[in-house]
Amino acid sequence: MQKLLIKGGKKLSGEVVISGSKNASLPIIISSLLFDDLVHFENVPKVRDIFTLINLIKVLGREVEFNEEKEILKISNKNKNKYFAPYSIMRTMRAGVLVLAPLLAKFGKARVSLPGGCSIGARPVNLHLEALKKLGAKINVKNGYIDAIAPKGLSGSNIKFPSISVGATESIIIAAVLAKGITKISNAAIEPEIIDLINFLNKCGADIEYNSQRKIIIKGVKFLYPVRYRIIPDRIEAATYAVAALITNGKLLIKKVNNEHLKNIFNVLKKIGANIKIFKDSFVIFRKRKLKPFKIITKPYPGFPTDMQAQFMALATQIKGSSVINEEIFENRFLHVSELMRMGADIKIKKQKAVINGIKNLNSAEVMATDLRASVSLVLAALSATGTTTINRIYHLDRGYSKLEKKLNLCGANIKRVND
Ligand code: UD1
């Protein structure tokens, strides 16, 4: 197992180039199972979740070519399709459950393992399954597997989600695009990653409309034609580096971003005390004044993203006064708290609420990464701490951050990756 050794206390300065969005790539790549021809994606990030998905797509019979240097992924259909997604792959990547939708839509059958457990909460897939049933699927869950068939194919329907789910919205978009008739989704998630999926499918001949009132209307089409498509930049990666600039009192130029997708996070950063200069597809961030404590509540987009909660908590430890974070999306997403406290942070948790009393300096410690965003919050904390912090179990980090230590070291950080 590998770990990171981070010598803190260095102000970051320089440029960071942001990779393609992991969370947009996953459903878009999965939707390629709907195609008869070659599909071609650009700006696919080199992260572990993408490699896991490539394995899954291969197991389902597709040919995959990933040019890692150019970040171009090609997927072709050689008509050797399989319909079985095994636990051995699904246990490491929850988003894999999305393959159920294209397999049902295209071939009328699928056997997909329930995704593995997850440290941040129960994360059931009931919303995916109930909505797929409304489109005509017959589903049986037994022995850890979802067995689904759609003998007459899928047909459009009205789906009102009882709560907002990114994954379930993606499942239904992918399932409905080739279904007979019209599907109307209410209370849909409208994250930029979902809009990217819609844009991709529309570019391939799908007929999908959406509005800011969380309504998505999908008119089923007969087939999709292949195009080249460029995945959007990773807004969570960009925002993570923005926090890295502030927490180290440095200054970073963050390049290849979509600033529109970052508005909600910029608003919070500015209130805290950041100076953000926005350019066409980049921004510069540094401290404008002494940072002020803040209150955030995580919400579905356009609200504040749960995927940035842990990073902002690391930042709060460095701001004098009490900051408050309410986690409203996941029931157990404060795993980073105990590790931050090992570094000297003062954090109190009451149910879904964390109160962080900022202190002067975090101290180095040996800590453990627990999930993707929790891990990166420890990296941020370590960058600002005195001494050398050891972060264990960094495979979580590699799931979602491409070349993290390389990007940070180029800006003056001192991070080493070592084997145990
Ligand atoms: C996606 C993102 C993840 C992000 C999350 C919320 C990907 C690959 N992952 O995860 O990074 O943190 O959105 O923005 O894009 N729920 C149910 N039943 C379901 C589905 C979800 O109860 O069938 C609950 C979940 O347990 C959670 C909430 O709904 O409490 C939101 O989850 P969801 O939006 O579905 O998250 P994911 O799509 O798994």
pLDDT of residue 420: 81
Return mean pLDDT, the chain.
Answer: 95
Q: Which two tokens stand for residue 340?
A: 């931050």
Give the per-residue pLDDT at 369. Answer: 83
Kindly state if the Cβ of 29 falls inside 6 Å of ligand 1.
no
124 Cα to the center of ligand 1, angstroms:
9
User: Does 118 qualify as catalytic in the annotation?
Assistant: yes
Confidence of residue 120 (pLDDT cuts 50, 70, 90): low
Which atom of ligand 1 is found nearest the CA of 301? 14
330 Cβ closer than 6 Å to some ligand 1 atom:
yes
CA 196 to CA 28: how far, in whole Å?
Answer: 8
Round to whole Å and give the CA distance between 267 and 270.
Answer: 5
Element (H, E) at 272: helix 263-272
Q: Extract the runs of DSSP E, i.e. beta strands, from 304-413.
A: 321-326, 346-350, 353-358, 366-368, 388-392
User: Which residue in 63, 81, 88, 118 is the catalytic one?
Assistant: 118
- State the distance from the centre of ligand 1 to the C-alpha of 165, rounded, in angstroms: 5
Confidence of residue 118 (pLDDT cuts 50, 70, 90): low
Neighbours of 333 (CB within 10 A): 24
Q: Whose CA is nearest to atom 37 of ligand 1?
A: 167
| Mean pLDDT of all residues in 140-165 | 96
Residue 331 banded pLDDT, cuts 50, 70, 90: confident
- Model confidence pLDDT, tens digit, residues 229-243: 999 999 999 999 999
- Quickly tell me which residue has 């800590």 as its tokens: 367
Task: Show Cβ contacts of residue 374 under 8 Å, excluding neighbours closer than 6 positions.
Answer: 310, 333, 335, 336, 339, 396
Beta-strand relationship, 72-77 and 39-42: antiparallel
User: With bands split at pLDDT 50, 70 and 90, how would you rate the model's confidence at 117?
Assistant: low
| Residue 78 confidence (pLDDT) | 85
pLDDT at 26: 97
Is 364's pLDDT higher than 60? yes
Measuring from atom 1 of ligand 1, which residue has the nearest CA?
A: 166
Going along the chain from its start, the domains and CATH numbers come out as 2-19+233-419 (3.65.10.10), 22-230 (3.65.10.10)
Q: What does DSSP say about strands 145-149 and 158-160: parallel, antiparallel, or unpaired?
A: unpaired
**In testing the pocket of ligand 1, which one of 97, 329, 401 has its CB within 8 Å of the most ligand atoms?**
329
Q: What is the pLDDT of residue 370?
A: 84
The ligand 1 atom nearest the CA atom of 126: 23
**Averaged pLDDT for residues 139-153:** 94
Ligand 1 centroid to Cα of residue 356, in Å, is: 25
d(CA 348, CA 131): 38
Question: Which residue owns the Cα nearest ligand 1 atom 15?
Answer: 23
Q: Measured from the CA of 305, which atom of ligand 1 is nearest?
A: 14
Q: Do β-strands 366-368 and 388-392 pair in parallel, antiparallel, or remain unpaired?
A: parallel
pTM of the model: 0.97
Percentage, residues of the chain above pLDDT 90: 90
Would you say the CB of residue 26 lies under 6 angstroms from ligand 1? yes
Question: Quick check: helix, strand or coil at residue 252?
Answer: strand
pLDDT band at 27 (very low <50, low <70, confident <90, very high): very high
Res 121: pLDDT:
64
405 band by pLDDT with thresholds 50, 70 and 90:
very high
> Separation of 247 CA from ligand 1 center, angstroms?
28
Q: Among residues 89, 187, 84, 87, which one has the least CA distance to residue 130?
A: 187
Q: How confident is the model at residue 158 (pLDDT cuts 50, 70, 90)?
A: very high
pLDDT of res. 80: 87
